[in-house]
Structure 1
């Protein structure tokens, strides 16, 4: 089909997608099938290109070392490329990425300056999720924080028992010989 208008016959081209044939003054050429398409049908997926793998790119992540590997071409090559990567000597499990916040949809990397441990459940989270309500806290599920609470109780309860009720709830008129009494006017 010829493009353009009566005044400018060489200006623009018609979309070659069946059923569209829209006149486009800035047409797109598909690098895979070498046809001309409008803005709406420029992607291989939208015009059902017979050769979509021609220049498609995809990135896969190695599960061992968290390295990203770019793949061009067919999807059945993924396994072969991952095996080749593992055997190359570049794949090192020690290069694994730093831990991230375990809260759902949070991708914050946990570093020494932005991590905290919940006192109730022992979960290590980022600072944004430090409050129990922000990370769906399961209180008392970890043994380490419970031990910390027991340590606190081990110090508090004996000290409380040593008081034997002294100075607790007694009348204000009586004062001990060691502490002076203060009166408010």
Structure 2
């Protein structure tokens, strides 16, 4: 059988045309560039060392001057040409590069949409490393307040829990009767 498949279905599937693989794949992929058939592992142009570059490949490059992201499709040598064109276009402004950083002393973390948070107490925007009030010298957190004044449900629960002495744990309020069988775990 040259094409692949089984005895019952000889036309089912194809062998991977990657030189080191030749695996029989019942759901083969055809490369849009070199028109060869490949298995799941070798379907991308990089994995089967396609002689033709992917015409639909997309890549994003970042301008070093203004930190603008530019989408590039095609060959790698086009990247330099596109960056030069962007630089000469007038859209490239070095003032755009300055991004907000964490205001905590000695922290140089750039604040992006995924690593920033706002403190609920002092409303300061900080990085995730300094999100807790003790880590960014929170203005309102530095003044000690009693637990009851803060009114947090955690403190109220812990206070109520500490009042219980453990003797009434597990009781339902019903008196136990001698006719009720008790179960003991051994």
Q: TM-score, normalised by structure 2?
A: 0.54
CA distance in 1, matches of 2:60, 2:88: 19
CA distance in 2, matches of 1:106, 1:95: 14
Show the counterpart of 1:5. Answer: 6
**Alignment coverage as a number of residue pairs:** 126
CA-CA distance at 1:126 after TM superposition = 2.6
Show the counterpart of 2:69. Answer: 68
Which stretches in structure 1 are left out of the alignment for 5+ residues? 116-124, 136-185
CA distance in 1, matches of 2:75, 2:87: 20
CA distance in 1, matches of 2:109, 2:44: 33
CA-CA distance at 1:15 after TM superposition = 0.5
Show the counterpart of 1:31. Answer: 32
Q: CA separation of 1:37/1:61 partners in 2, compared to 1, >3 Å: closer, same or farther? A: same
**Conserved? CA contact 2:118–2:131, under 8 Å:** no
Q: CA separation of 1:77/1:30 partners in 2, compared to 1, >3 Å: closer, same or farther? A: same
Which stretches in structure 2 are left out of the alignment for 5+ residues? 137-186
- The 5 Å alignment of 1:12-161 reads 12-96=13-97, 98-101=99-102, 102=107, 108-109=115-116, 113-115=123-125, 126=127, 128-129=129-130
Q: TM-score, normalised by structure 1?
A: 0.55
